[in-house]
Structures are given as structure tokens and as C-alpha cells.
Amino acid sequence: MTDVAIIAIDGPAGSGKSSVSKQAARALGYGYLDTGAAYRALAWHVLEQGADTADSAAVQTAASDFPYAISLDPDDYWVRVGDADVTDAIRDPRVSGAVSGVARVPEVRVQVNKLFRALAAASDRPGVIIEGRDITTVVAPDAPVRILLTAAPEVRAARRAAEVTEQDAAAVAAALHKRDASDSSVVDFLNAAPGVEVVDSTDLDFAQTVDAVLGVVHEKLENADGR
């Protein structure tokens, strides 16, 4: 899709795809694109306008005027909507609870997928790791490296609870399972498509997971260069 090397990583909530992808990007000298941030930022944008993210018409209206920008630098990460820095705001529980409504709108997914491809193509780095959902199948199906990063549901819930210390662990787990169920009706992020490598981090720590991902990247890129 571009002269920039693309590493496509899919995975469910709590799989570690954001932190692992960011660290892998650092190791490779690549850019890092968090696609979930766009849906979160759009949910924030809808809420700021006093609209309901369950209203697909309102979501599409907000998306038609969505001045979105994101950094692809893994060491200088920021997200903006117009002049507002929403890097922290999009992680607020009210946004997390609303983002699925935004992501379920097909027209929005088409719009942001085009945005993701444009952002990656414009990178001044030799490659970009794009992580999120349906990256390996829709956003970058021809990427030389496509990975599904996953883990057992209870492990993902425990990791997410550790990240969000101000919330009850049971509530975090319930929210994660609810989001999995909701989002899986839109895109399959739990099963690897043909040609997609699976990295299961259930029994791996963070460093081991990063190494496993980098191992797949190096192997795939070497094989691609050798063809």
C-alpha cells in the first residue's frame, strides 16, 4: 500500500498490543500508529458536541468535521482534535464506554481506514507498526508482516485491571468482556486470517512478548527480501 514497510498487528482489548507495538517500533526505528485512538478521539468529539454515540447519524455528522491528528513517534505520543490535546481525555471511562458505538458505524470505519493508510504512507520512517483491529485484514491486508497478538481472557482482564488502578478489577473485567462481545459483532479480532501469525502472550511477560513479535517481524521481512 506504500513504500513504507507496514507491520500490521491486531488484537483484543488487554492483549498488550499498544505497549508491545510501541516498544517494537522503538527497537526497529519505525513509526507507531495507534488506530484505536482515532475511534476514541471521535467518541470524545461526539460527546463534546452533546451527542449520543449510539446515534449513528450523529456519529457520521461528527465524523464529517473531525480535525484529527496523531503523532507516529513512539517516544513523543500525542492525540489532538483541532486545537485540543486529547491524549489523556480519550482514556477517560466515559469515552471508553462510548467508543464501541462509534466503531460500529460502517461509514466511519471506511473513513478512518483511509486516514490510517494516509498517515502511514506519509511517515518519514522506514516502516510503521499499525495496531488495532481489522488491521491485518482490511487496513493493510498486503502488509509483509501481519500478526494477531492475543492472550487468554482472564489474563487480558488482569492486565487491564492493573493499568486502571482506580477501578474495581471485577468491573474492569466485565467491561472488557462486554467490549469484546460488542466489537466482535463488527470485526473478528480473535481469530487469525490466513497468512497472519499468532503471538499468544498468555504465558509471556512484556519483554518476552516484544521479543516474540520482533522475531516474527525479522523472519517475515527477511523472507520477503529473499524472494
CA–CA dist 57, 68 (Å, integer): 19
Q: Please, which residues have CB within 8 angstroms of residue 10's CB and are 6 or more apart in sequence?
A: 17, 131, 132, 133, 134, 135, 136, 137, 146, 147, 148, 149, 189, 196
Q: Please, which residues have CB within 8 angstroms of residue 215's CB and are 6 or more apart in sequence?
A: none
12 annotated to bind ligand: yes
18 annotated to bind ligand: yes
93 annotated to bind ligand: no
14 annotated to bind ligand: yes
182 annotated to bind ligand: no
H or E segment to which residue 131 belongs? strand 127-132
Cell numbers found for residue 211: 521479543
11 annotated to bind ligand: yes
13 annotated to bind ligand: yes
212 annotated to bind ligand: no
19 annotated to bind ligand: yes
Residue ranges of the binding site = 11-19
Where is the binding site for ATP, in residues? 11-19
